[in-house]
A and B are shown apart, each in its own frame.
Chain A
């Protein structure tokens, strides 16, 4: 639930605040490592392909004499990919990167909205300081020490990293069962969730959980020798609206 993680609470014009769970050092590091691998692979890929094409044979070593074509077509693009990856990708993906997507986080402004282009660029310029002296030492320390887990780039740009709240599935049958008046909202959700997860559960777990749920919410009880299908039918009956 949203209370579990430290969060940013943003005032809204509706009067109902917006809760944003703030990402900690772990999620940040995970996102960074994924992005780092992506940019290394892209930069190296460009370098190797460019070098093979330039040399015209299976050889990736640079020419002995400095050559503008080599530098312009092989070295400069690879360095550009490596060093401008975050600037370009965050602008193109509006505050996200493939790594951040995988880690389930995104950048937001302090008002909970999407950050401006200027804020994203400023955030990335300050990587120069955050990455000092080695392996993002300064950034990591400030992330650990600050309340909202901010690195210096975030402080400068007025941004922070929040968890991209995955779409929680609304239990479809819950409404029906609830409407029928037999289950409270929590019970309806539990029954719906159990039915959703039924195929993924072990047979013993199916029976055990169904028995517990029915004992708590159901009016009918099963026999210990009943098979799984019978338990499922009883759960489905509980979740269905009653015929009147």
Chain B
């Protein structure tokens, strides 16, 4: 048999399988949409995948510019995507995240947490010292309304619930805090500088406002206001800063094959912490809307709530809250 006849015979035998290709493509589409849990169907898809790969390889040589090739390329890509599709069980994925992955991420991020906490604390001290020494600089950090209120001897938080209902206040605060937290993480993309900027700016503002209220004898009131929600809120600020710092370091000193690959690994890994941060900020927002501005809560109750919520955060991040299994030594 000469070359041309052989090629023609191969092409003929290939084209006879067109119905099998159509069936394979239909099955891949059906399974990709998640319609059907038939195990036999899934097994057949693995066979289809091999069939399509085999035939596509031949069609690429025998009919490189044909619609048959176009069809097979598309069907093969679809079968590939369907086969390489992880299970989407949201419930178990969330449980695994909270019980196993989150503690591992926190352990991995612990040096970053330490550093971002240190940067934040230094910024607070810096802001405090700056405004304590030069009170007029408060205009750089606080709004004119806030300054006027403190100068009248009154915290801006007093009577807050007369203006805005707790529920509205909570949602506004938690949405704002979540956005700031996500920004601190995403800004790590600027080689960590964006994260440092957000941590530093928030620290400076906090320190400056504390110094300003202290100068007007309102420090105790402000502490009483923030103690219930602030313990967790400030901790989450440092946690998201740590996640952003990890992303930044991955770009500065890539550990994996390339900078982008290193960035991807760090962003996906540290991003898991952001899920916990968002959950914690929802709680903080609720406390800031319902407890902190409410004068009926005594100081001891606020402290108890703040400390309890902080301990709950520690339990969540260490996996204890969801019954993390004790690590056993490998046999």
Contacts and interface: CB of A to CB of B under 8 A. Distances in A.
Given A16-B56, A129-B186, A185-B63, A122 B268 contact: yes
Contact of B68 (A15, A152, A179, A185): A185
Interface stretch (B69-77, B142-150, B295-303): B69-77
- Of B12, B62, B77, B164, chain A has the most CB atoms within 10 Å of the CB of B77
Nearest to A65: B163
A78 interface: no
Contacts of B82: 114
A79 B168 CA distance: 13
A76 B171 CA distance: 8
Bin chain A's interface residue count.
35 or more
A229 interface: no
Nearest to B79: A18
Interface in B78-96: 78, 80-86, 88, 90, 93
A125 interface: yes
B182 A125 contact: yes
Q: Which 4 A-B pairs have the closest CB atoms?
A: A113-B84, A165-B74, A14-B53, A156-B267
Given A71-B167, A185-B62, A18 B86 contact: no
A10 interface: yes
Given A71-B171, A125-B186, A186-B66, A165 B164 contact: no
B271 A113 contact: no
B11 interface: yes
B25 interface: yes
A72 B65 CA distance: 58
Contacts of B187: 129
- Of B32, B75, B185, B189, chain A has the most CB atoms within 10 Å of the CB of B189
A129 B67 contact: no
A13 to B, nearest CB: 9
A187 to B, nearest CB: 10
Interface string B1-44: 00000001001100110100110010000001010000000000
A172 B19 CA distance: 9
Given A152-B189, A171-B68, 15 more contacts: A1-B65, A12-B80, A14-B49, A16-B56, A16-B57, A68-B168, A94-B85, A121-B271, A126-B189, A167-B25, A168-B70, A171-B67, A174-B68, A175-B16, A184-B8
B182 A128 contact: yes
B68 A170 contact: yes
B310 interface: no
Interface in A141-158: 152, 155-158
Given A158-B264, A179-B15, A189-B66, A71 B93 contact: no
B183 interface: yes
Given A71-B168, A94-B88, A170-B18, A118 B271 contact: yes
B112 interface: no
Interface of A: 1-2, 10, 12, 14-16, 18-20, 66-68, 71-72, 76, 79, 94, 108-109, 111-114, 116-119, 121-122, 125-126, 128-129, 152, 155-158, 165-172, 174-175, 178-179, 181, 184-186, 189, 193
Interface in B272-313: 272, 274-275
A168 B71 contact: yes
Nearest to A155: B260
Contact of B263 (A12, A19, A156): A156
B22 A111 contact: no
Contacts of B166: 68
B7 to A, nearest CB: 9
B323 interface: no
10 contacts: A68-B165, A117-B93, A118-B272, A121-B271, A122-B267, A126-B189, A155-B267, A184-B11, A185-B11, A193-B67
A157 B270 CA distance: 12
Nearest to B94: A117
A19 B57 CA distance: 12
